[in-house]
Structure 1
Amino acid sequence: MSASGDPHHPSRRLLLTTATALVAGTSLPLAGAHAAAAALPGAAAQEPPGAAASFTNPLFWQDFADIDVIRVGDTYYYSASTMHYSPGAPILRSYDLVNWEFAGHSVPRLDFGAKYDLSGGRGYVRGVWASSLAYRPSNRTFYWLGQIDFARTYIYTATSVEGPWSRHAELPQVYFDAGLLVDSDDTMYVAYGNTQIHVAQLSPDGRSQVRSQQVFSTPSSIGTLEGARFYKINGAYYIFLTRPANGQYILRSTSGPFGPYTLRQILLDLPGPIPGGGVPHQGGLVQTQNGDWYYLAFIDAYPGGRVPALAPITWSGDGWPQLQLVGGAWGAAYPVPNLPPPPRQVEPLTGVDTFPGTILTPKWEWNHNPDPAHYTVNNGLTLRAATVTGDLYSARNTLTHRVPGPTSTATITLDHQQMRDGDRVGLAMLRDASAWIGLKRDNGATRLVMVDGLTMDSNWNTTGTGSERATAPVTGTRIQLRATADIRPGAGRQARFSYSTDGITFTGLGPAFTLNNAWQFFMGYRYAIFNHATQALGGAVTVNRFELTTP
């Protein structure tokens, strides 16, 4: 989604339905790049058939926006935006399109300037926006292509989604909201643009441009089209485009990747499966190994962010796709995909992390790039204060995790005996309006506090560094801090903080904090663990355990 597209705020959702069809696109029958040679399935009824087993939407209630989805053999991969969080461009993995696990990140570090290190500037709501993931069978390599800061485009490659990922030279053209296609003859193409849609052909190594051509100009009656996904299906080329944040359109060419293209509307103001949420849009198409098709889109559901929803796709005889509706809407439930049994169960997206080993798992992302010299992982996470600041938004080494919905609870176990005077340590609900529970150490004494009033303006400059709303004495050197959040769109959307000294009985601290549900920050709330100094570096804390639960 681009800055120029005005995302559809839930309060403005029109709740209209259309009977128009949806989407097109593909992954390879055997190796899920965006090229395919499979024949189109026949037309099917609008309502899905009944089945004993079904899945519900959203697939999982966590913030993974600007979706690209591919299949490689029997494995599905899902790539998403992360903006200022590092590492960037997470990849999820699934064997059934319904249950997903964290697998890796395509962008290991936001090495695009000092502002991403919170040094001399900040990169909030910049960084990794809508990007594309593809697999190239000829060299058995994954390709990630993305635009950074609206000013430059990079290709990253890896032979495994777990990495290591390598960044290659900056491409000469800026590919806005790019969709990467590996054609059946191994040529690589990029569809990109906002309103004016272009197609570029890349060099054989994918690291330079051979040619680029505008292939479509969006009519003013439609407005903005962006978020390109590029597919080849049964010899025809399809560019799947979103109208933010309530519509989806498709371009189709039977004369090659450079067109000419025919436009068709595929959904507009379609009711989604989250009450108060937005219209499912801006995702990707994937074909299963059994020949079935699915569309994986996201739903605006602030304050939690943009969360995924899955729906089956069928095809008309003239080569256009159709979304299977339920009662004139994107279904809250569909039959599970007909797929072989998975080789194993995926790792759950919630649970306990005791930080074993020496590296963080892919579920974690830092607020901007971390300073590796000031944290260690070794049967616990030790955070040494990395920044002297009174502003949490400027503090390095703030570690974040997405907030699951509709409600969830995060609890950390914290050893704070190495804190120093001036240190601020805690568990935050982090976004452009934030609050936290944690510890302040001043003049040799440590206090437990609940703080809110941390705010940013529309340019993401700090306008409030927080005010204490409650305090309590601290005994011992270990404490459990807890945040419980309701991220359903609407009037509730509150977080509450509590603490425990025995890990059994938790005591509330401070008033409920109302979560901001404006869309402009784009990313949803995160649970965030932080330690920063206000006087001098040298202090440290150890997080022995993080537990994330949903009802």
Structure 2
Amino acid sequence: MKLSKKFLGLSIAAVLAGCNSETKVESQQPVASEQASETIIPAQTGSFGDQGDGTYINPILNADYPDSDIEQVGDTYYMITSKQHMSPGMPILKSKDMVNWENVGHAFPKLSWAPEYDWDRMNGYSFGTWAGDLVYHEGKWYVYQIDYQNGLMVTMADNIEGPWSEPIMMLPHEEVLDDPGVYFDYDTKKAYVIINTGLKHKSPENKIEGNENYIYEMSWDGTKILDEGKLVYTGMGAEAAKIYKIDGTWYITMAQWTMGDYSTKPGVKNPKNDRKQLILRSKESIYGPYEVKTIMEKGKEFGHRSASQGGFMTAPDGSWWYMHQLIQNDDIPFQGRPQNLQPVTWVDGWPIIGFDEDGDGIGEPVKRHRKPIDGYPITAPSSDDDFSSDKLGAQWEWNHNPRDTHWSLTERPGWLRLKASKVLPNNNNHGPKINEWTNNDGSDSDFWRAPNTLSQRMMGITTGTAIAKFDISGMKPNQLAGFVRYGGVFNLLGVEMKEDGSKHLFYMDKMSNKTMGPELNGNDLYVRTSNARNKATYEYSFDGKNYYAFGPVFTIAFGKWTGDRLGFFSWNEKTDEDAGYIDVDWFTYDYDGPKAARVVKN
């Protein structure tokens, strides 16, 4: 990543805004258009993000958008975030004011570099796309990332919206661990990447078993590694490095764990107790020697969740800002790892992120602050969908690469069709592996081995309600299909078609225990799910008006490096049968957070 100072001109988005940054919008009411065929729903505010009064509340993106990297080009800010085994991979978002973000697309249309991510394996849980680096270099976009199981790679595009190239492998996984940070030095025409190699090179001086971070020189086109790398920093869990050159001085930001006696878990000794944000500074060379300073620690605003790993941005007024994630720590976050925005002040050539509340020279993250830039409308990543497009919205991602012959937006225009596939075998080559990376819930359910589960992130942690309308007329015997909430665990509400052709409502818990409900005689089914923090419920309806609770109150949870998600499933329990489909008419999602103004058909 680098800070680009080119300016592209003012977006017309401000002209189309339904409100300005000084106006509270939550009290605005829906307005019917002149034709009364549609209703304009004004932008909304909530418990996080843009507050409509010139301030914002962290996390500004209170959803599973982890491992961010920011590239600033002119007056637009672009962000990538990791998404492990989800496909397409590496979401891309954009913003005009650092607070309001919207979907752009994904850097990896498919996780195409290894067979474990394909629909007929589904063996890549927790791997896939990890923390990456987004770069705009000589008119071309680059995304670098390290798949722990496969190595360092780069994909390129002329346009941020794609198409993106097939990834080029640059270093094998035997030499690297994670988190590349790239810098193109236009003063010297040299390019570099810093990488956490873990202990894969293990210098004799490394007595603490800390992560070793190496800087490699790259070709100027950003696709080749030119040397064996030089070790610049070793630290406990030190990773997520980003390189900056500011007024001739080299800076490297780094996230690093500290160890101690404190833990919120009884009986745990010498745990990781904070993942602090460090910065390295050298006035001599990119290779050092470096001074090291801690510039942000977790503070008190976000409980036990550490604050680190992100990137710097600048505003038109010259102010500096830092985007970072909240780490999981002992408090497992059911919504995933969200993004915070912090002000930055410079003191004696060192940045302080957030506010230094206790006067020790180290910043702590702030909860609420003025926005960096005024005048842009409230917006948010997409959620609602009526499936009227022939392309799937960027909010949706598949559990592993989809089986493309088994879903469609064109076979029945205006509907999403999900065809059932048979469940993959339950063995070591299919489904989640049980190891330190997968956070497995102990379940070997068919759900984890059923292709073409489609979902999007939950938003916020207070309350939310999602509704979907299904047509179940295309189901076949032994098919199960319907609505799912899942992250570390899953809970389903759907329809099962029996051998005799009868259809029955069912609820399934995380251990595959099934509760059967009433027989369904019609074709329309509405499913509604609501949550209050990490407790959720399901309801069903036949007319979209009268809803009936079904199943218990269940707990949603983080796992497989994924927060809770909302979506649809369809599989066939018969081992030699792919028969049946379910159609989804629309999906709506209301939550306690920002949402852009929108038009709803009456």
TM-score tier after normalising by the smaller chain length: 0.7 to 0.9
**Counterpart selection for 2:293 from 257, 260, 264:** 264
- Which residue pairs with 1:235 in the alignment? 248
Rounded to whole Å, the distance in 2 between the matches of 1:171 and 1:346 is 40
**Counterpart selection for 2:386 from 348, 354, 360:** 354
**Counterpart selection for 1:196 from 212, 223, 234:** 212
- Which residue pairs with 1:280 in the alignment? 307
**Counterpart selection for 2:550 from 489, 504, 509:** 509
- Determine if the alignment matches structure 1 residue 522 to structure 2 residue 564: no
Rounded to whole Å, the distance in 2 between the matches of 1:521 and 1:417 is 34
Structure 1 regions of 5+ residues with no counterpart? 1-24, 33-50, 455-465, 488-492
Deviations 1:418-443 (A, max 9, x none): 00000010111112321111111112
Rounded to whole Å, the distance in 2 between the matches of 1:116 and 1:250 is 35
- Determine if the alignment matches structure 1 residue 333 to structure 2 residue 368: yes
Give the letter aligned to residue 267 of structure 1: M
Rounded to whole Å, the distance in 2 between the matches of 1:513 and 1:337 is 39
- Which secondary structure does the structure 1 equivalent of 2:170 belong to? coil
- Which residue pairs with 1:255 in the alignment? 284
Whether contact under 8 Å (1:85, 1:366) holds in the other structure is: yes
- Which secondary structure does the structure 2 equivalent of 1:373 belong to? helix
Deviations 1:369-403 (A, max 9, x none): 00111111131111111334570111111101001
Give how far 1:452 is off.
0.3
Give how far 1:475 is off.
3.0
Deviations 1:322-379 (A, max 9, x none): 123285542110011135x44xx47533552011221101111100000111111131
> In structure 2, do the counterparts of structure 1 residues 338 and 405 end up closer, same or farther at CA, with 3 Å as the change threshold?
closer
Deviations 1:205-241 (A, max 9, x none): 211112243343425xxx2211111212111121111
Give the letter aligned to residue 370 of structure 2: P
- Which secondary structure does the structure 1 equivalent of 2:229 belong to? strand
- Which secondary structure does the structure 2 equivalent of 1:246 belong to? strand
Rounded to whole Å, the distance in 2 between the matches of 1:283 and 1:232 is 16
- Which residue pairs with 2:162 in the alignment? 163
> In structure 2, do the counterparts of structure 1 residues 326 and 380 end up closer, same or farther at CA, with 3 Å as the change threshold?
farther
Deviations 1:107-156 (A, max 9, x none): 111012221114245110111111111111x2x11110011134311111
Rounded to whole Å, the distance in 1 between the matches of 2:250 and 2:384 is 45
Q: How many pairs align?
A: 480
Whether contact under 8 Å (1:71, 1:288) holds in the other structure is: no
Higher deviation after alignment, 94-103 or 407-416: 407-416
Structure 2 regions of 5+ residues with no counterpart? 9-51, 199-210, 258-273, 359-363, 425-444, 593-602
1:68-467 matches, within 5 Å, as: 68-120=69-121, 122-136=123-137, 138=138, 140-172=139-171, 174-175=175-176, 176-185=178-187, 186-193=189-196, 194=198, 195-218=211-234, 223-244=236-257, 246-273=275-302, 276=303, 278-299=305-326, 300=328, 302-316=333-347, 318-325=348-355, 329-338=364-373, 341-342=375-376, 345=377, 348-377=380-409, 378-388=413-423, 391-406=446-461, 407-442=463-498, 443-454=500-511, 466-467=512-513
Rounded to whole Å, the distance in 1 between the matches of 2:7 and 2:217 is 21
Rounded to whole Å, the distance in 1 between the matches of 2:215 and 2:563 is 32
Give how far 1:31 is off.
7.0
Give the letter aligned to residue 162 of structure 1: E
- Which residue pairs with 2:43 in the alignment? none
Give the letter aligned to residue 289 of structure 1: P
Whether contact under 8 Å (1:30, 1:289) holds in the other structure is: no
Whether contact under 8 Å (1:231, 1:239) holds in the other structure is: yes
Higher deviation after alignment, 417-426 or 189-198: 189-198
Rounded to whole Å, the distance in 2 between the matches of 1:237 and 1:537 is 57
- Which secondary structure does the structure 1 equivalent of 2:285 belong to? coil
Rounded to whole Å, the distance in 1 between the matches of 2:384 and 2:378 is 15
Rounded to whole Å, the distance in 2 between the matches of 1:224 and 1:149 is 15
> In structure 2, do the counterparts of structure 1 residues 288 and 215 end up closer, same or farther at CA, with 3 Å as the change threshold?
farther
Rounded to whole Å, the distance in 2 between the matches of 1:418 and 1:89 is 33
- Which residue pairs with 1:458 in the alignment? none
Whether contact under 8 Å (1:431, 1:526) holds in the other structure is: yes
- Determine if the alignment matches structure 1 residue 496 to structure 2 residue 537: yes
> In structure 2, do the counterparts of structure 1 residues 357 and 107 end up closer, same or farther at CA, with 3 Å as the change threshold?
same
Give the TM-score, by structure 1 length: 0.83
- Which residue pairs with 2:571 in the alignment? 532
Rounded to whole Å, the distance in 2 between the matches of 1:108 and 1:278 is 32
> In structure 2, do the counterparts of structure 1 residues 513 and 369 end up closer, same or farther at CA, with 3 Å as the change threshold?
same
Give the letter aligned to residue 478 of structure 1: D
Higher deviation after alignment, 278-287 or 321-330: 321-330
Rounded to whole Å, the distance in 1 between the matches of 2:537 and 2:357 is 37
- Which secondary structure does the structure 2 equivalent of 1:352 belong to? coil
Rounded to whole Å, the distance in 1 between the matches of 2:549 and 2:117 is 35
Whether contact under 8 Å (1:427, 1:438) holds in the other structure is: yes
Whether contact under 8 Å (1:76, 1:97) holds in the other structure is: yes
Rounded to whole Å, the distance in 1 between the matches of 2:283 and 2:342 is 26
Whether contact under 8 Å (1:215, 1:260) holds in the other structure is: no
Give the letter aligned to residue 249 of structure 2: A
Rounded to whole Å, the distance in 2 between the matches of 1:550 and 1:527 is 13
Rounded to whole Å, the distance in 2 between the matches of 1:72 and 1:132 is 15
- Which secondary structure does the structure 2 equivalent of 1:177 belong to? strand
Higher deviation after alignment, 174-183 or 158-167: 174-183
Whether contact under 8 Å (1:469, 1:511) holds in the other structure is: no
Whether contact under 8 Å (2:479, 2:579) holds in the other structure is: no
CA RMSD of aligned residues (A): 2.2
> In structure 2, do the counterparts of structure 1 residues 423 and 521 end up closer, same or farther at CA, with 3 Å as the change threshold?
same
- Which residue pairs with 2:48 in the alignment? none
Deviations 1:503-539 (A, max 9, x none): 122211011111235xx62211111211111122121
- Determine if the alignment matches structure 1 residue 472 to structure 2 residue 515: no
Aligned-residue identity in percent = 29
Give how far 1:178 is off.
0.6
Give the TM-score, by structure 2 length: 0.76
- Which residue pairs with 1:15 in the alignment? none
- Which secondary structure does the structure 1 equivalent of 2:323 belong to? strand
Give how far 1:66 is off.
0.7
> In structure 2, do the counterparts of structure 1 residues 309 and 161 end up closer, same or farther at CA, with 3 Å as the change threshold?
same
